[in-house]
Each structure stands twice: as C-alpha cells, then as structure tokens.
C-alpha cells in the first residue's frame, strides 16, 4: 500500500533544486550584474496596458418601465452593449412615481440614468438625468433603428471608448449647451474604466436638424478614415429640461414640440374634413339634378344659315318590284346573274 504524502511535500527521490548564486570562479552571464545577484529581468512582470488610475467614476443606470415593445427593448440592450460603464435593473412599475428612480440609482451606486418610459404601448419617452441633484431632460424618441438591422454594416470593438461629435449649434444656444454637457457625462466612457478597451474606433454624432437631435454611431475605418454606420440610430425630440432629477422647476420648454396625441388628432381631423368635402360635393350634384330645367327661348339668328332643300318630284311605282332569289351559295348567285345578262343581250340583239 502506497503511503500518503502530505500536501506540499515532494515525492521521494525528487529534491527541490535551490538556485545557487555563481561562485567567484564562475563568470557572470553576459549582460547581467557581476556582483553575483540574480538578474531582475528574469522575474519582471510586464506592466498593464493602461497604467492610469480610474478617477472619473461615472456609472449610468439604463432601464425602462413596463409596457415597452420589442424595438425599445433591443435599443436599450444596444446602449448597454456600447456603454461599458452602464448598469441594468428590472423594469419599473407604471404606478410608481419617477422620484423613486433616484433611490434606485443610489442603491445601484449610479450617478447618471437613462430611463425609457412607454405610454399607450406606442409612444416612447426617454429621460436623461443627473441623479440626485439634476438637471434632467425629457425627450420623445422617434425613428428607432437597432443594431440587428442588416443595413448597418459597420462594426467596432466591444468596450472601446467612443469619440463624441456635436453640431456647432450646441455651442450657440444655452439649452443645447446644457444638453451637450449632459450627453458628454452620460455617453462618454470614462478613461481607464476596468471594462473599457484602450482603443478609439467609433464615434457618436449628435446633429440638430428640424428642431430635433439625431443620434448616429459610425465606425472609423483605419485605411482611409471613412465612416460606416454601426447603429443604433434614433431621433430625440426635446420636450422639457428640469432643474431637478425627474422633476423640479422647468428650465426650458420646447415651443416647437407637438405631442403624439395632438398629432394623431390632427390627422383624424384632416381625414374627416376630406370626407365632409366629398359629401358636400355629392349633395350639390343631387340638388342640381333635382332642379327644374330652364327652357331657353329660341334664338332668331339660328335660321340665318339654314338653306331650303331642293324639292324632288314624287314618283309613284305602280309595278311590284321583282323579288330577288335568296341564294346562300355565292357561285350559284353569280351563275344566275350571268344567265339574266345573256337573256338581256339576246333580246336586245
């Protein structure tokens, strides 16, 4: 029976080799120290890629309310994928107040929040907030396209830090300047983040067109520095900017904003107006048909161009005309006609 050996003990016959320093007679290895010490190159550990310290500890909580559709769920998952400094949470109940989100962010140790709020199962709203002090902004999300769509042909490294590109109008208007700072703090990946990669291969663009903010994500190709869209893409229609987090005094209200309910109501009114116009045209046509026709008096000038026709003498035929024989065959009819002609020639001769 083999004897058990203790943990850490060596097997019999195998002694641990001790690294001995070179003697005075032995020459030191080339390039190494001559005092007999062990060269430090053999035990050196390569430094990490990023030796900096993670100072900007921004954490973004991305979650939604109940009642969102599949497209919103995919958009939320795409943002979590693109932002390595984000965290997830369960869906919030509709009955809960928005102030509860500040407590959820505190429990998740997050100081920024992106909250998707769904209403009527067709309208999507996005909240961007700096918790718990504020400010916060509410947007209406339109024209959502996710990463899974085939027309997005670009690709980037997961966890890489993006460049943020803003329209020049963000520096002119004060409310756009506030939104620019909020976008930088939320969408910008902190430097030396543990889950981020030390590469920059894509860019987030924020463009203002038609009083709306258009978000796009492009890949930067190394060969010619051209851009290829990755996704997702969506349009943010600003509603209000609040001083606090998810509430408080209103700092800015968009005068060009039109609610989805009002937009749908105007569409229904336009369709109803067209229908009423068609009915009125039909009623006018019926009235015209039922109305008495007004007889126009005879115009005396109509007789000017009338010319009397020549009177032909009346001829009375006393003899009954001969009946023509009904022949179905044309050849027989021709033969009969030829015989009649021959008889006429003979009588005349």
pLDDT the model gives residue 20: 47
Segment (H or E) for 337: helix 330-348
The torsion angle over the Cα atoms of residues 228, 232, 235 and 236, rounded to 10 degrees, is -130
Taking CA 147 as the corner, what is the angle to CA 145 and CA 153, rounded to the nearest 5 degrees?
Answer: 105
Domains and CATH numbers, the chain: 60-262 (3.40.50.10480)
Residue 165 CA to residue 151 CA, distance in Å, equals: 22
Characterize 84-100 residue by residue with b for buried, 16 or more Cβ atoms within 10 angstroms of its Cβ, and e for exposed: bbbbebeebeeeeebee
DSSP per residue over 202-230, as a string? Answer: EEEEEEEETTEEEEEEEEE-TTT--EEE-
Q: Is residue 65 a contact partner of residue 117, using CB atoms and an 8 Å limit?
A: yes
What end-to-end distance do the CA atoms of the chain give, in Å? Answer: 159
Residue 174 near residue 70, CB atoms below 8 Å: no
With a cut of 70, which residues of the chain have pLDDT below it? 1-51, 292, 325-328, 349
Check residue 42 and give its pLDDT: 66
Q: Name which of 252, 155, 241, 169 is nearest 206 in CA terms.
A: 169
Q: Tokens in use for 213? A: 């903010």
How many angstroms separate the CA atoms of 52 and 191, rounded? 8
Task: Extract the tokens encoding 82.
Answer: 């693109």
Q: What is the DSSP string of 48-67?
A: PS--S-------EEEEEBTT
Give CA–CA dist 223/158, Å, rounded. Answer: 20
- Residue 274: the pLDDT is 94
51 burial level (CB within 10 Å; 0-12, 13-18, 19+): exposed
User: CA-CA distance, 165 to 180, in Å (whole number)?
Assistant: 10
d(CA 193, CA 213): 28
- What does R_g of the chain's alpha carbons equal in angstroms? 47
What are the residues whose beta carbons fall under 8 Å from the beta carbon of 230, sequence distance 6 or more?
Answer: 147, 152, 154, 155, 156, 202, 217, 218, 219
Quick one: tokens of 69? 């559709």
pLDDT of residue 31: 47
In a 10 Å sphere around its CB, with 0-12 CB exposed, 13-18 middle and 19+ buried, how is residue 299 labelled?
exposed
Return d(Cα 238, Cα 253) in angstroms, integer.
Answer: 8
Q: Quick: pLDDT tens for 208-253.
A: 999 999 999 999 998 788 999 998 999 999 999 999 999 999 999 9
DSSP annotation of 257 reads -
Residue 51: predicted pLDDT: 60
- Rounded to 5 degrees, φ, ψ at 283 are -65, -40
Question: Both tokens of residue 156?
Answer: 């980037």
pLDDT of residue 28: 45
């Amino acid at each position: 029976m083999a004897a058990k050996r203790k943990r850490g003990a060596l097997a019999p016959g195998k002694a641990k080799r001790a690294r001995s320093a070179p003697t005075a007679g032995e020459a030191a290895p080339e390039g190494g120290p001559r005092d007999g010490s062990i060269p430090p190159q053999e035990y050196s550990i390569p430094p990490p890629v990023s030796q900096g310290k993670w100072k900007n500890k921004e954490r973004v909580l991305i979650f939604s309310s109940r009642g969102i559709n599949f497209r919103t769920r995919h958009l939320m998952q795409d943002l979590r994928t693109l932002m390595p400094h984000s965290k997830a949470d369960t869906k919030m109940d509709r009955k809960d107040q928005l102030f509860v989100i500040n407590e959820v962010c505190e429990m998740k140790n997050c100081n920024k929040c992106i909250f998707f709020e769904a209403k009527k199962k067709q309208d999507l709203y996005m909240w961007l907030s700096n918790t718990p002090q504020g400010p916060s902004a509410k947007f209406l999300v339109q024209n959502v396209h996710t990463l899974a769509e085939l027309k997005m042909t670009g690709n980037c490294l997961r966890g890489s830090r993006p460049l943020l590109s803003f329209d020049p109008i963000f520096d002119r208007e004060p409310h756009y300047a506030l939104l620019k700072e909020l976008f930088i703090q939320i969408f910008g990946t902190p430097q030396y983040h543990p889950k981020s990669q030390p590469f920059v291969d894509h860019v987030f663009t924020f463009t203002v067109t038609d009083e709306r903010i258009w978000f796009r994500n492009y890949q930067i190709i190394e060969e010619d520095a051209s851009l290829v869209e990755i996704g997702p893409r969506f349009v943010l229609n600003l509603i209000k900017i609040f001083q606090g987090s998810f509430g408080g005094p209103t700092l800015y209200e968009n005068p060009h904003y039109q609610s989805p309910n009002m937009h749908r109501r105007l569409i229904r009114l336009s369709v109803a107006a067209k229908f009423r116009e068609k009915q009125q045209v039909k009623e006018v046509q019926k009235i015209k048909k039922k109305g008495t026709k007004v007889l126009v008096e005879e115009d005396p000038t109509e007789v000017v161009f009338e010319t009397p026709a020549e009177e032909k003498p009346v001829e009375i035929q006393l003899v009954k005309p001969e009946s023509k024989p009904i022949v179905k065959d044309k050849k027989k009819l021709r033969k009969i006609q030829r015989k009649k002609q021959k008889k006429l020639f003979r009588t005349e001769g």
